[in-house]
Structure 1
Amino acid sequence: MALTLYVDSTRWRAHHKHVLEQFPGIVPVCKGNGYGFGHERLAEEATRFGSDMLAVGTTYEAARIKDWFSGDLLVLTPFRRGEEPVPLPDRVIRSVSSVDGVRALVGARVMIEVMSSMKRHGVTRSDLQALGSAIDDVRLEGFAIHLPLDRTDGTDAVEEVIAWMDALRGARLPLHTMYVSHVKADELARLSQQFPQTKFRARIGTLLWLGDHEATQYRGTILDVTRVAKGERFGYRQQKATSDGWLVVAAGGTSHGVGLEAPKALHGVMPRAKGVARAGLATVNRNLSPFVHGGKQRWFAEPPHMQVSILFVPADAPEPQVGEELVAHLRHTTTQFDRIVEH
């Protein structure tokens, strides 16, 4: 009885193949919880399709995954002087976003991140002169630019990359490789055509591993079903049932990531109205669960427990059965499953 991740392996891998064909030289990204699959599993898949490099989030992730992947490991979090040292093999490449960081990594393999319109981290154009002398003491693997997902001002991602390419070229810095994040396949092709002497490599995680939503599905097993009458008290807080129905105990709780939700950027009147409605319902302890029964997402009867969730199913719905599996709409990046089943 578990929260299970079901994977249609044939379909999942067919999607990998499609993405690889669109983005030659792709660098698969495996960070966080491994996009819901785990680091080891994604390292195996990257090895399966012949990747020579795998990008991870932190040095700690690189240390854990190094025995599962034999190619180069690119650490995406930029190096900072004074960080805790983590023993890593020479095949690890460090991201650097400052001239000081470059100077502190004498002899290391480095990839230099430039400041994009994301304004998160990266060297600036005013740093380029100083950067020219600093790179003599490192093994430069290339430059990188991390672009925003949305461009609400109508600007062009390719033009932003081109502007940086021109700036780097003007500073006489080597442009043999440029790593890019959040570019489309046609944009990558445009860049490769305009700069034939530079190898562009797209760093991709979400699109590669989670791009085909029909290839994976979470399901939680029903562990117990208890009939309740309107007004009857239940649960930790002894709330009253609002109507006749069933209390359903489903596998999957806070330790799995159930009930965990990241803030969302809302655009437009309708999404904002729905957000206000959800917030209003939450104030009266009405929270929609990710579990589906009888074709509808069901309400939490009370906040999810550590390993299970208690749902309320009204009497006019099909009677839930112990052992039945409920589809759960969960975010891969915040979910920990009990088991994985491939079919």
Structure 2
Amino acid sequence: MSLTLYVNRKDWLAHLVKMEHRFPDYLPVIKGNGYGFGNESLADAAKTVGKTRIAVGTVEEARELEDTHSFDQMIILTPVLSALDYSDLESNRVFTVGSQAHLQHLLTQFEHLIRQQENVWAKSDGPIPIRILVKCQSSMKRYGFSPLEWEKTRGWLDEHNRTGRFRFEVQGFSIHFPKEGIGQAEKDREIEEWLKVIQKDGAQVFYVSHLSSDHYLQLRNRHSDVQFVMRLGTDLWLHDKSFFEIRSRVLDIKPIRKGERFGYKQRPARQSGYLVYVSGGTANGVGLEAPAIVKGLRGWFKATAYWLFGLINRHLSPFQYKGKRLWFAEPPHMQTSVLFFSSKDSLPAVGEEVSIHMRMTTASFDRYVETDSKPAETTGSEVETSATKEQDDVKEKPVGALLPS
């Protein structure tokens, strides 16, 4: 039995089409673990709805996707400071740069590659292009040029393009805004400041993020001479969670008495009840958490309560049964988690599915199943029938095959 991601493909595709109406010409971001779906599955989805260009997180992700998918343009969002290879000279590759050091690294790496095959590249006509996307510094304070830094770097770039073997080609500019703590007026101010710079360079493409649909459409109407493109990642793939659900199977149930020892650490049980073993563990991302910002008094009390429970080795799990969140009996294993049910709790049956709510950006699933709707809750008496029906009626597909090409 496995940790399963159920996806309503019809609703998923309808959502992607709807997002095109809200954010015309949006750029889908495909990176990391593919937001839980896998990068190949997201690339399939992007192709299905007619996208010809995408953004990926790293140069390594671009190489992997190029083995299975063809796009007119792949924008690499993270500046490259690692070794490059010949596949990175592909004409559809665009490198994000946020400092002169990023530009210099690209130049050094490509010069090294060319020297290794001097006899081949000596026949090339004219300078070899390196396509770049200029990252603009925003109130995020992440990597990126300030307007003044770009003015200085542009002079260096122009000089190099006149005399160098490589020619840097600016494909556009990109600005990444915070999700919170900044209003539309402040975003407009930063955009307007950069538009003055962009117009000097003659660039016609400006990538933006974390704008409302209304704000995005206003910008496109206000500046018809600039092609604004909305970059969508989490808001595209995970904002609407109605078309997918994660389920875990109950693998075994063991009664346990108060004081009886169990598990890897042989800790005594606090009370009598049941150990319920379910599929999904640390290899799937169960129990993995990212640091969170605590907001307000309620958030502070909640964080403090979790901390206090942790001191006595009590940890809430992401698993739920009949609307109730369950406790870990011990830390999750690699592919299995152990939950504690008291003797008063309603027990699931072996083979029954329980819900799990987990962070999709750290999740890895054993099975991906296409459905026409969300899977219905199964009861103990329905487990065997449900499992048989799933084999007969539900299409199960591996990563990368969730959507047709």
* Equivalenced residues, count: 339
* Partner residue of 2:364 out of 311, 333, 336: 336
- For 2:131, the equivalent position in structure 1 comes to 109
1:162-213 Cα offsets, whole Å, 9 max, x none, are 22212443xx222300011211111111211221100011110111111211
Q: CA deviation at 1:7?
A: 0.8
Separation in 2 of the partners of 1:236 and 1:24? 53
Separation in 2 of the partners of 1:175 and 1:317? 63
User: RMSD of aligned C-alpha atoms?
Assistant: 1.6
* Partner residue of 1:120 out of 113, 129, 142: 142
- For 1:93, the equivalent position in structure 2 comes to 94
- For 2:342, the equivalent position in structure 1 comes to 314
1:282-321 Cα offsets, whole Å, 9 max, x none, are 1111000111123211100000001100000111111221
Per the alignment, in what secondary structure is the counterpart of residue 201 of structure 2?
Answer: coil
Output aligned runs, 1:59-98, within 5 Å. Answer: 59-71=59-71, 72-80=73-81, 83-86=82-85, 87-88=87-88, 89-98=90-99
Q: CA deviation at 1:124?
A: 1.2
Q: CA deviation at 1:155?
A: 5.4
2:84 alignment partner AA: P
- For 1:166, the equivalent position in structure 2 comes to 196
Per the alignment, in what secondary structure is the counterpart of residue 60 of structure 1?
Answer: helix
- For 1:293, the equivalent position in structure 2 comes to 321
Quick check: 1:5 aligned with 2:27?
A: no
- For 2:175, the equivalent position in structure 1 comes to 145
Separation in 1 of the partners of 2:67 and 2:54? 13
Q: CA deviation at 1:58?
A: 0.3
1:278 alignment partner AA: Y
Separation in 2 of the partners of 1:272 and 1:311? 27
Output aligned runs, 1:120-269, within 5 Å. Answer: 120-133=142-155, 134=157, 136=161, 137-151=167-181, 156-169=186-199, 172-269=200-297
Q: Which has the larger radius of gyration?
A: 2
Q: CA deviation at 1:17?
A: 1.2
Kept in 2, the 8 Å contact 1:118–1:147? The answer is: yes
1:73-130 Cα offsets, whole Å, 9 max, x none, are 11000134xx211433221111111234345546211111011111111111222333
2:241 alignment partner AA: H
Cα separation, partners in 2 of 1:218 and 1:229, compared to 1, 3 Å: same
Kept in 2, the 8 Å contact 1:294–1:317? The answer is: no
1:132 alignment partner AA: R
Separation in 2 of the partners of 1:8 and 1:56? 24
1:190-246 Cα offsets, whole Å, 9 max, x none, are 211221100011110111111211211111111000011222221111222222211
Separation in 2 of the partners of 1:68 and 1:107? 24
Q: CA deviation at 1:69?
A: 2.4
1:85 alignment partner AA: L
Kept in 2, the 8 Å contact 1:95–1:111? The answer is: yes
* Partner residue of 1:326 out of 335, 354, 363: 354
2:32 alignment partner AA: G
Kept in 1, the 8 Å contact 2:58–2:80? The answer is: no
Cα separation, partners in 2 of 1:101 and 1:232, compared to 1, 3 Å: closer
2:286 alignment partner AA: V
Higher share of residues assigned helix: 2
1:58 alignment partner AA: T
TM-score with structure 2 length normalisation?
A: 0.80
Per the alignment, in what secondary structure is the counterpart of residue 29 of structure 1?
Answer: strand
Kept in 2, the 8 Å contact 1:177–1:201? The answer is: yes
Per the alignment, in what secondary structure is the counterpart of residue 21 of structure 1?
Answer: helix
2:97 alignment partner AA: V
1:159 alignment partner AA: R
Q: CA deviation at 1:67?
A: 2.5
Separation in 1 of the partners of 2:152 and 2:101? 10
1:330 alignment partner AA: M
2:296 alignment partner AA: G
Separation in 2 of the partners of 1:214 and 1:154? 29
Separation in 1 of the partners of 2:185 and 2:216? 16
Listed as ranges, the gaps of 5+ residues in structure 1 are: none
2:137 alignment partner AA: M
Separation in 2 of the partners of 1:275 and 1:155? 33
2:369 alignment partner AA: V
